[in-house]
A and B are shown apart, each in its own frame.
Chain A
């Protein structure tokens, strides 16, 4: 059966973490793109836009907060998904109130590490719910 969702972008500087996310929800997407740092994530996002294949509600961006080059929130801020159409999940170890607030401003769901596969799937459902 063809997966219902289109593209999954996973950004985390830990390859094990990217593997974990991919193994948990990768099967639900037609394409999975990995980024090992903030710069790669930003380029992945911008390249889609330049190629007129901008991400939308059928895609999902999962990014770690602490990464080399740019952090997850900086990239999301620079990317300017103003209409908040793309489901986005920020994963971070033990988020502070400030991080939660910034994520809320960007309409991003925060998932605290360590999280289970079930929690990740739940966050995925939640992030896609109101974005059409």
Chain B
């Protein structure tokens, strides 16, 4: 399952052991693995000298350990290591080495292999995780920045459009007032209708661009979810779908009820619209342990067509929509993103094309 996360909270870690390991890991995984393997071989070599083995045999360890570490592939490394160890064992037996010497060499090679690959795997995984986190943080920052730019731009455009829209609507009104022709009345009503539609789109866009300053209070996500689900049930039935609210414990956050309700209803409506042939949208609220502390989560899962990998990075962008003309303005998710961002939260998306999507709104619990 692929995951695209658009989280608003960004916690880049800039110092401490992570950076040290990151600084070490570049050369470690590329250039210095073989020298390290050699060093370890020397250590084994000292043991070999003590048990009376010739130096050329010791050098044979370089091959399995070095290769295994180089490729960091357990199966490949294990096979090479086992073969090399067997060769060494056979040659040692032929040379009439003591049992202790054979055991020492065999165990040494195997243990060394596991030790080196384990260490490198651990480091590699750790560094990869940190890198992924940083990449995600940078992506989020870029996304947020792009949204801010779009928000500012939209606000400017919207203000410029206000006057012409007003004049258009005004002229349509005047034409209708001065005419007895029913066609003129009908057409002017159409103009007014379209103007109010454009205004609604602009208002949505401005909602997205200019947030903040709204009253916050204690919100129980469970109650919010049940109210929203109740409200949308008839819409779901009309589409031949159903919304199932999974009962959960009370989850309290600090926020604006109507804004959070807007987020949830946007997500549920998106889920319903993603299922043209019907299905079930599951809604649940819970407290989840994330990173190092518990957070409030609202999960909305649908059985719709999912989000393609190409679309995933853009779903929170204003005006991005895959819906049919007239179905959506492409602002629902970006407005939701803005609201959740204002609540110091994040929206996570998991989607399997053809099977459905899962949106998780993560919010800080009320202190």
Tell whether A122 is near chain B: CB-to-CB under 8 Å: no
CB distance A97 to B213 under 8 Å?
yes
Most buried by B among A12, A92, A94: A94
Known: A24-B170, A114-B195, A116-B169. A94 touches B163 (CB 8 A): no
- CB-contacts of A1-33 with B (<8 A): 12, 14, 16-17, 20, 23-24
How distant is A67 from chain B, measured CB to nearest CB, in Å? 11
Distance, CA A16 to CA B168, complexed state (A)? 10
Distance, CA A98 to CA B206, complexed state (A)? 13
For A20, what are the chain B residues with a Cβ–Cβ distance below 8 Å?
Answer: 166-167, 170-171
Known: A24-B170, A114-B165, A116-B169. A94 touches B158 (CB 8 A): yes
For B203, what are the chain A residues with a Cβ–Cβ distance below 8 Å?
Answer: 94
B163: contacting residue among A14, A24, A116, A117, CB under 8 A: A14
CB distance A113 to B162 under 8 Å?
yes
Tell whether A79 is near chain B: CB-to-CB under 8 Å: no
B159: contacting residue among A12, A93, A116, CB under 8 A: A93
Q: Which residue of B lies closest to A92 (CB)?
A: B162
Known: A93-B158, A94-B158, A94-B206. A114 touches B213 (CB 8 A): no
Distance, CA A14 to CA B164, complexed state (A)? 9
- CB-contacts of B150-201 with A (<8 A): 158-171, 173-174, 192, 195-196, 199
For B165, what are the chain A residues with a Cβ–Cβ distance below 8 Å?
Answer: 93, 113-114
CB distance A114 to B174 under 8 Å?
no
Tell whether B75 is near chain A: CB-to-CB under 8 Å: no
CB distance A94 to B162 under 8 Å?
yes
For B159, what are the chain A residues with a Cβ–Cβ distance below 8 Å?
Answer: 66, 92-94
B166: contacting residue among A17, A23, A96, A98, CB under 8 A: A17
- How big is chain A's contact interface, by range? 20 to 34
Tell whether A43 is near chain B: CB-to-CB under 8 Å: no
For B171, what are the chain A residues with a Cβ–Cβ distance below 8 Å?
Answer: 20
Most buried by B among A16, A64, A113: A113
CB distance A12 to B174 under 8 Å?
no
How distant is A17 from chain B, measured CB to nearest CB, in Å? 5
Q: Mark A95-114, 1 if CB is under 8 A from B, else 0.
A: 01110000000000000011
Known: A16-B167, A20-B170, A24-B170. A114 touches B210 (CB 8 A): no
Most buried by A among B167, B195, B202, B206: B167
Distance, CA A106 to CA B242, complexed state (A)? 50
Q: Which residue of A lies closest to B156 (CB)?
A: A66
Tell whether B100 is near chain A: CB-to-CB under 8 Å: no
Q: Which residue of A lies closest to B210 (CB)?
A: A96
For A16, what are the chain B residues with a Cβ–Cβ distance below 8 Å?
Answer: 163-164, 167
Residues of B within 8 A of A (CB): 158-171, 173-174, 192, 195-196, 199, 202-203, 206, 210, 213-214
15 contacts between A and B (CB under 8 A): A14-B163, A14-B167, A16-B167, A17-B166, A20-B167, A92-B159, A93-B160, A93-B165, A94-B158, A97-B214, A98-B213, A114-B166, A114-B168, A114-B170, A114-B196
Additional A-B contacts beyond A16-B164, A20-B171, A114-B162 (7; CB < 8 A): A14-B167, A17-B167, A20-B170, A92-B159, A93-B202, A94-B158, A114-B166
